[in-house]
Amino acid sequence: MAKHFDGREIRELFSRNLKLFRRQSNLSQLALSVRAGLAHNFVNDIENNKKWISPDTLAKLAEVLDVEPGVFFQSNPLDPPKTREIRGYLDEINKRFTQAVGEIKASYLPQNEEEA
């Protein structure tokens, strides 16, 4: 059976997860507010459970933090250290792929127009 939450608990859960995902993204409250087009003090108030948000604000925050809106309401969202580890692997794969494409391009395509 699902646990029943009251409004206060839902707001606290959202606030905690917003802060978690913001930190996971290595963003300050100011950087998040600028990217989402929100006032800095509003983001601070949301994280401190002093203010609530509209669906439009939820969408903006989710977009900036690159998460699905529903994860803000999960009791156990993605484990941040594991997510950072996975992102690190993906960044390394992307770096190696880009390097390999550059090497292939350099060996098969002329370096400048005079060689064409």
Q: Report the C-alpha gap between 29 and 114 in whole angstroms.
A: 52
In order along its 116 residues, the chain shows pLDDT tens digits of 566 777 888 899 999 999 999 998 999 999 999 999 999 999 999 999 999 999 999 999 999 999 889 889 888 766 555 666 777 788 889 899 999 999 998 888 877 655 55
Rounded to two decimals, the pTM is 0.63
CATH of 1-76, one of 1.20.120.1200, 1.20.200.10, 3.30.70.890, 1.10.260.40: 1.10.260.40
Please report which residue ranges of the chain form alpha helices under DSSP H: 7-24, 29-36, 40-47, 55-65, 80-108
Exposed, middle or buried, 76 (CB in 10 Å: 0-12/13-18/19+)? exposed
Specify the pLDDT at position 109: 82
Query: Residue 40, Cα to own-chain centre: how many angstroms?
Result: 18
